[in-house]
Amino acid sequence: MGIILRVGQGYASQVDGRPFPQASLADHPSERWMAVQVLPSLLFGPAAEELFFRATLLVAVYGVLRETISLRLSSVASIIVSTIAFALLHVSYASLAPADVLQMVVLGSAFSVIVILTGRIWPALIAHVTYNGGYIVLASIGTLLA
């Protein structure tokens, strides 16, 4: 799922003529790149985001609403709330183009749907790590080719 989302993001961003992304090593010597950029974006970020947005927020909204409205509507409402919060977090710390905001909405929705359908956080966390890992691989290749 993470790979499909990364390929879809590339297609939506029309990256088919642009070079690979590159890791910013100017601020971080290459030996520190793993600790400064890879671990946070590959493990810590997805874990914290999935635990908050899906395991806590999504489940809490779903739990409150399922008692008052149908299961289907509570699922949709909890997905919307979790997705908006996820997108707002990313918009709050980075200046994102409209296509990137849409990307965050698609990602947040996909990860939320995974949790709703499986009842588990692990598949969403694995998809999120895989998605971010796709960028790390592309940035590593781009840096080596530069």
Degrees (nearest 5) of the Cα angle 117, 104, 126?
45
Per-residue model confidence (pLDDT) at position 125:
95
% of the chain at pLDDT higher than 70: 71
Per-residue model confidence (pLDDT) at position 40:
74
Per-residue model confidence (pLDDT) at position 17:
54
Under 8 Å between Cβ of 78 and 116: yes
Q: Spell out a b/e string for 18-43, using b for 16 or more CB atoms within 10 Å of the CB, else e.
A: eeeeebeeeeeeeeebeebbbeebbe
Under 8 Å between Cβ of 15 and 89: no
Please give the backbone phi and psi of residue 78, each rounded to the nearest 5 degrees, phi first: -70, -35
Averages of pLDDT over runs of 10 residues in the chain (146 residues) are 60 54 52 66 87 95 92 95 94 83 92 96 94 80 69
Per-residue model confidence (pLDDT) at position 81:
97
